[in-house]
Amino acid sequence: MQENWWKNAVVYQIYPRSFMDSNNDGIGDLKGITQKLDYLKELGVDIIWLSPVYKSPNCDNGYDISDYQDIMDDFGTMADFDEMLDEAHKRGLKIMMDLVVNHTSDEHPWFIESARSKDNPYSDYYIWRDGKEGKEPTNWEASFGGSAWEYCAARDQYYLHAFAVKQPDLNWDNPKVRQEVFQMMDWWCQKGIDGFRMDVISMISKPEVFEDGHVREGHQYAEIGPIITHGPHEHEYLKEMNREVLSRYPLATVGETACVTVEEAKKYAGFDEHELNMVFQFEHMDLDFGSYGKWNNRPPRLTQLKEVLSKWQTQLHGKAWNSLYWDNHDQPRVVSRFGNDKEFRAESAKMLAICLHMMQGTPYIYQGEELGMTNAGFTSIDQYRDIESINAYHEIVEGGIAGEDYMMECLRFKSRDNARTPMQWDSSVNAGFTEGTPWIEVNPNYTGINARAALADKDSIFYYYKKLIGLRKEYQIITEGSYELLLPDSEELYVYTRTYGDEKLLTVCNFTGDIQKFEVPGGFEKSRCLIGNYSRDVYKGQIELKPYEAFVLYKCR
Ligand code: TEU
Ligand code: CA
């Protein structure tokens, strides 16, 4: 296999619970994925990243694992997995597994043992501390609310959980833990999987000394992310993982690295670092944070978005590898967030696709993004299923921090469940996802927005994604070229060039629903338009961009 094959690959993320239900119990499953592989082949992606399919009590939809070498009952059996892997490989599709090893479920046998006593073989597998004057060891806040410490009477100690109470953090400083994890990874590699997406991998090495953190005004605890990310042994452990497992297989690896900076990313994903191939950074996703953290109801300014994305483009160039994404299972739908899901849904979805897919890095498409699926539009808290959203709602509304209407608006804008409504396959009942009762409500707009309709319309968002994937395979400049931002101060237009030897690309995106004047820069007179979301005859001089118009010009010499 070609070295660095993942550099011009395109990844498609499947959230199995919401993808396709094969047995009508209302929950997506592995057989459902197998049924839809031809659809993904048609789209043209190379790798499928599967959100966790391992055995799990599902407090966080599979991100709480109780057995790493077994399949979640809801999703099927290991035989179903093997069949899916085999069928994917037959079609030239690769499978990237979600690797959740910062924490396990509290129902994992390691934790059950660990919680029993201070002197059993597993007692040091998790992070245990004595209380401080009858209280939690530190003031750290769990990412899903409340203290990050939970008391356990059998040990008269607290365990650390950066996420939910049911997600205790593993103790990576224990070499036995690292060996267990590496062996488990090796077992999956032997099975023939093709990569790992590593959940909050930036949190595995905890600080040497545990100290209270700064508590922001109006908060009870200190935000845990900045305290426990990029710890003292982080890169040592990843290099060890690389030596012991990753380097022995032709894998694609991506680290989900909460709180990562450009400087840190160069360590995780630097070309000579022998750690990971690339990382997910969050700066462009966190721009719309407000005084209640992610719970906010308005998008960032375009200049901020451009500044962040451009920084990652230019500063990693030649040194480390970017991943490119607008959407995943933790983020709202991009067309509702940075586009316009009402009057200009198709136009803005295509514009956003063009904007991202002409950048340097490996693009990730989240299920339904290729259809322009929108936020869920839930109006009652009872419609939500996500532990983060539900906990935050209670904490913020019942704590009197913000009013109910405001919080419901924030959830409609930012909740993770916006991405988790079932995939919209066709206009039959429940969008063709299930004939049973779906575990989370289907977005009622499925009658118009669905895969069948998209496949039947040559001008659909789906075919723009397909074309963009094709362009990446055809033009090396998209993978290799350097990036330059034009018009940095414009709040309306996102314009950038890519340069590779004698070749140049110009990407022009109107981020507004209004007509915008634009002067095509000199030098592109003899260029060709590779893709655009409106038809236009002339691409030179002064032009008027239509609402959410985007196009890409290419020239050689
Ligand atoms: O998310 C990690 C992470 O950094 C979260 O704080 C993320 O920013 C948040 O969900 C956004 O609201 C990963 C998984 O992607 C997520 O689904 C899991 O819930 C979490 O880890 C715990 O495993
Ligand atoms: Ca099912």
Q: How far is the CA of 473 from the centre of ligand 1 (A)?
A: 31
Exactly one of 199, 234, 370, 549 is catalytic; which is it? 199
Average pLDDT over residues 491-502: 98
Q: Distances from the Cα of 91 to the Cαs of 1, 45, 47, 76, 467, in angstroms?
A: 16, 11, 11, 22, 19
CA of 430 to the centre of ligand 2 (A): 14
Q: Report the residue among 163, 284, 330 best suited for mutation to probe ligand 1: largest number of ligand atoms under 8 A from its CB.
A: 330
What pLDDT does residue 218 have? 80
- Average pLDDT for residues 460-488, to the nearest whole number? 98
Q: Mean pLDDT, the chain, as a whole number?
A: 97
Q: Which residue carries 């609310």 as its tokens?
A: 145
Long-range contacts of 442-446 (CB under 8 A, 24+ apart): 443/373, 443/374, 443/376, 443/377, 444/377, 445/374
Orientation of helix 461-474 relative to helix 345-357, angle to 10°:
10
Q: What is the mean pLDDT of residues 237-242?
A: 98
pTM for this prediction? 0.98
> What is the distance between the alpha carbons of residues 409 and 442, in angstroms, rounded to a whole number?
19
Assess whether pLDDT exceeds 90 at residue 219.
Answer: no
Over 70: is that where the pLDDT of 11 sits? yes
Show Cβ contacts of residue 188 under 8 Å, excluding neighbours closer than 6 positions: 97
Give residue-wise pLDDT tens across range 405-435: 999 999 999 999 999 999 999 999 999 999 9
Ligand 2 mean position, distance from CA 417 (Å): 19
Residue of the nearest CA to atom 14 in ligand 1? 199
Interval between CA 339 and ligand 2 midpoint (Å): 33
For the CA of 388, the closest atom of ligand 1 is: 12
pLDDT, mean of residues 396-410: 94
Residue bearing the CA closest to ligand 1, atom 11 = 330
**Is 49 within 8 Å of 364 (Cβ atoms)?**
yes
Which of 157-161, 251-255, 415-419, 535-539 has the lowest average pLDDT?
535-539
Would you place residue 1 in the very low, low, confident or very high pLDDT band (cuts 50, 70, 90)? low
**Atom 18 of ligand 1, nearest CA residue:** 63
Confidence label for 291 from pLDDT (cuts 50, 70 and 90) = confident
Consecutive H or E run containing 461: helix 461-474
Measured in whole angstroms, how far is the alpha carbon of residue 189 from the centre of its chain? 22
Determine the distance separating the centroid of ligand 2 and the alpha carbon of 65, expressed in angstroms.
Answer: 19
CB–CB of 62/53 below 8 Å? yes
Of all ligands present, the nearest one to the C-alpha of 437 is 2
Ligand 1: nearest atom to the Cα of 200: 2
3-class SS at 33? helix
Question: Does the pLDDT at position 186 exceed 90?
Answer: yes
Percent above pLDDT 90 for the chain? 96
CA separation (Å) from 241 to 5, 194, 234, 246, 452?
20, 16, 11, 7, 43
Ligand nearest to the CA of 75: 2
- Tell whether the model's pLDDT for residue 133 goes beyond 80: yes
Ligand 1 neighbours by CB, cut-off 6 Å? 60, 63, 100, 143, 163, 199-200, 256, 258, 294, 329-330, 388, 416
Range of lowest pLDDT (12-26, 286-300, 334-348): 286-300
Query: Could you identify the atom of ligand 1 that is nearest to the CA of residue 294?
Result: 12
* Integer Cα distance of 408 and 80 in angstroms: 39
Strands 47-50 and 528-532 come out as: unpaired
Which pair of tokens denotes residue 1? 């296999």
Model pLDDT, residue 297 = 87
Other CB atoms within 10 A of residue 297 CB: 15
**Whose CA is closest to atom 17 on ligand 1?**
330
- Write down the catalytic residue from 46, 64, 150, 256: 256
Alpha-carbon span 256 to 162, nearest angstrom? 15
Q: Which residues surround ligand 2, an ion (CB under 5 A)?
A: 21, 23, 25, 27, 29
User: Ligand 2 centre and the CA of 441: distance in Å?
Assistant: 15
Q: Which residues pair with 147 in a beta bridge?
A: 141
**What one-character-per-residue DSSP string does 343-384 give?**
TTHHHHHHHHHHHHHTSSSEEEEETTGGGT-------SGGG-
Say whether 519 is catalytic.
no
Q: What is the pLDDT of residues 58-90, one digit of tens each?
A: 999 999 999 999 999 999 999 999 999 999 999
Residue bearing the CA closest to ligand 1, atom 6: 143
Of 508, 498, 499, the closest CA to residue 540 belongs to: 508
Nearest atom in ligand 1 to the alpha carbon of residue 63 is 23
Per-residue pLDDT band at 24 (split at 50, 70, 90): very high
Residue 56 has pLDDT above 90, yes or no: yes
Enter the tokens of residue 424. 């919209």
Cα of 210 to ligand 1 centre, how many Å? Answer: 22
Which ligand is located closest to the Cα atom of residue 142? Answer: 1
Assess whether 199 carries a catalytic annotation.
Answer: yes
- How confident is the model over 187-197, as a mean pLDDT? 98
